[in-house]
Amino acid sequence: MDMKLAPWLAILILLASTAIVFTHEVVHGFVGDDHIEPYSVVILIFALAYICVSLDESGLLSYIAVHVTRRWGRNGRILLLCFYALSAIMAVLTNNDVVVLCLTPIICVFSDTTGVDAEPFLIAMFIAANTASMALFIGNPTNIIVAQANNISFISYSAWMALPFLGAAVAGVVVLYLTSLSKVPGAIEIDLNIRPRDMIRKIRQAILGTIILVSCLIVLCVLSFFGVAVWIVTLPFGGAMLLVDAAIDLYTTRNVSGAVPTAIVDTDEGMDNAEVEMQMPIQSPENQPTRISPLATVATDARALPETCVTSTDKYTTQAENGIGRSIQLKTIRCLRKAEMRLPTVTAVLKRLPYGIIPFSLGMFIIVESLSEQGWTPRLAWLLKRMCPTTAAAVFIVGVVTTLACNILNNLPMTILFSRAFQHQIFAQVDSGTQRGAMFALVIGSNLGANFTLVGSLAGLMFQNIALQKNRNIGYFRFMRWCAPVMIFQLAASCAILVAELAVID
């Protein structure tokens, strides 16, 4: 079974056994409470993801990657550091899921064109993304959960986490560099015929998308002083990017003309009246053929079809009249094909959004709500209170425990469960410094826990899936051999810096 649907199997079992009630645990797990709002996390992720994937579709990210490759790519080890830095910067400005979504295919293409093993560069990108994601609370959904639960502002969060992030980033790059020396070539042959500016496919979207992303970050920073919810800020900017893409698409395809004939095919396997969509070459305003949908079967000559195929309007009408459902289906498909022709950027971006996060995250929210209703929150709060006698102990113990728990529960539900335990009246009996240390150690563990195994975060599952699509098989234990040594030093460095901060401030 797909891991993203696994939580819902557990929920169905719990509902069937009457262990949970739909109107309580399921609904409350989705809506949340005044401190944790699961739906707002999903809205935030998709708003930022749309902006960043749109920038990738414009070619801006490819432009940056090619520019970095041409500038420093002759030395493989320096290029590894450049990809690490690029991934970290992108993760600070966006979030780890977006970085994985956008840079993984770019690194694979770089590997294909140069013949260099992509694995060290992919690992560097992934580690940097999950390290830098702790810098701002928009960098990871887990950061948002902790910030919401404890009413932490954008500025306050950034001030506390800036130094732990830098410590983890430096420790990570040093250990990664040392462990990958034998796997990264000292010299790489770069094709100088590939120019960075050739990567920009849609200059208008690149410029406007950059303006929208920067504006979103500035507004987030300003409105954090007024207690405005993060999703309320990011949603309008995501919508603005969608409108920009749609407006530019409609303008550039305003002169598109042509027909999309439909052929009705009868087969011997019982799939009667299966549809084959044919998109004929259509001339764009620049007199260039538009992109043909990969979902369609392209034919430029009706005679190339099997004899059972009939493309006439009469035949189409006769088949469509066989049932209302069939007619609606055909009309829907034709409308979608037309939308894809008129709105190529919008449809391309929407196809690439991380929809898998919706069933997985909401399902895990509901399961954690069920655990809370069954009395596990006070038990965990009592255990954490006993394990955290001092501030320093709280930071290191919570950091280690939450890092390991990420790889059992996944970082998103783990963060919800521990956040509720820290809010419980039992744990509230410890001093304020210990509470603050445990809270920020939870942030560190929820981010760095993804650098241990592939199941530590949804970004890990996305990373493995995209790598497999590009014929790069990075298995569970291979990933752990790469990342575990790096994560251990990162965790030690960030927790030590956090303890020092708490000692100075408190």
Amino acid at 194: I
Sign of CA dihedral 104, 106, 112, 115: negative
| CA–CA dist 57, 46 (Å, integer) | 16
- pLDDT bin (cut points 50, 70, 90) of residue 184 is confident
Q: Which band of pLDDT confidence, cut at 50, 70 and 90, is reported for residue 161?
A: very high
Kindly state the tokens that stand for 404. Answer: 């390991």
> pLDDT digits over 93-131, tens only?
878 887 888 788 888 877 887 788 899 999 999 999 999
Tell which wins on pLDDT, 341 or 40.
Answer: 341
DSSP 191: -
Question: Can you give the pLDDT at residue 6?
Answer: 74
DSSP letter at 449?
Answer: G
**How does pLDDT run across 429-481, given as a tens digit for each residue?**
999 899 999 999 999 999 999 999 988 887 887 888 788 878 888 888 999 99
Share of the chain above pLDDT 70, in %: 82
Give the distance from CA 118 to its chain's centroid: 20
Q: What is the pLDDT of residue 269?
A: 41
Q: How far is CA 261 from CA 120, 290, 328, in A?
A: 47, 16, 17
User: Above pLDDT 90, what percent of the chain?
Assistant: 33
Q: Collect all residues with Cβ–Cβ distance below 8 Å to 482 and sequence separation of at least 6.
A: 119, 123, 179
C-beta pairs of 143-146 under 8 Å, 24+ apart in sequence: 143/443, 143/446, 143/447, 144/40, 144/41, 144/44, 144/230, 145/36, 145/41, 145/412, 145/415, 145/416, 145/419, 146/415, 146/419, 146/439, 146/442, 146/443, 146/446
H or E element that contains 264: strand 262-265
Residue 226's contacts (CB-CB under 8 Å, 6 or more residues apart) are none
Q: Quick check: 478 and 172 in contact, CB under 8 A?
A: no
* pLDDT-wise least confident of 234-238, 304-308, 367-371, 490-494: 304-308
Q: What is the spatial distance between Cα 219 and Cα 233, in angstroms, rounded to a whole number?
A: 7
More confident residue, 494 or 300: 494
Indicate whether 265 pLDDT > 70: no
Tokens of 260: 């999309």
Please state, in angstroms and rounded to a whole number, the distance separating the CA atoms of residues 304 and 400: 63
Helix 344-352 / helix 38-58 crossing angle, nearest 10 deg: 130
- Rounded Cα gap, residues 205 and 286, in angstroms: 18
Whether residue 406 contacts residue 449, with contact meaning beta carbons closer than 8 Å, is answered with: yes
Written as six digits, the tokens of 272 are 């009667």
Task: Give the pLDDT score at 247.
Answer: 94
Reading the block at residue 420, the tokens are: 């509720």
Is residue 103 within 8 A of residue 87, CB to CB? The reply is yes
Average pLDDT, the chain: 80
Question: Angle CA(318)–CA(323)–CA(326) in degrees, nearest 5?
Answer: 90
Cα–Cα dist 61/502, whole Å: 38
Q: Between 4 and 133, where is the model more confident? A: 133
Per-residue confidence (pLDDT) for residue 273, from 0 to 100: 42
CB 207 within 8 A of CB 155: no
Is residue 40 within a helix (H) or strand (E), and if so which, with residue range? helix 38-58
Q: What share of the chain is helix, strand, coil (3-state, %, to 5)?
A: 70, 0, 25
**1-15, 47-61, 124-138: which has the minimum mean pLDDT?**
1-15
- Per-residue H/E/C for 201-235: CCHHHHHHHHHHHHHHHHHHHHHHHHCCCHHHHHH
Taking a C-beta distance cutoff of 8 angstroms, is the pair 462, 133 a contact? no
pLDDT in tens, 401-416: 999 999 988 888 899 8
* pLDDT tens string 480-500: 999 999 999 999 999 999 999
Six-digit token pair at 138?
């928009």
Average pLDDT over residues 254-270: 49
Own/partner pairs, 216-220, CB within 8 angstroms, 24+ separation: 216/48, 216/51, 217/93, 217/138, 220/138, 220/154
- The string of DSSP letters for 289-350 reads BPPPPTTS---S-GGGS-TT-B--HHHHHHHHTT-HHHHHHHHHHHHHHHHHHH-HHHHHHH
- Cα–Cα distance between 309 and 273 in angstroms, integer? 10
CB 503 within 8 A of CB 449: no
Instruction: Look at 69 and 159; give whichever has higher pLDDT.
Output: 159
Q: How many residues does the chain have?
A: 506
* Residues facing 265 on adjacent strands: 274
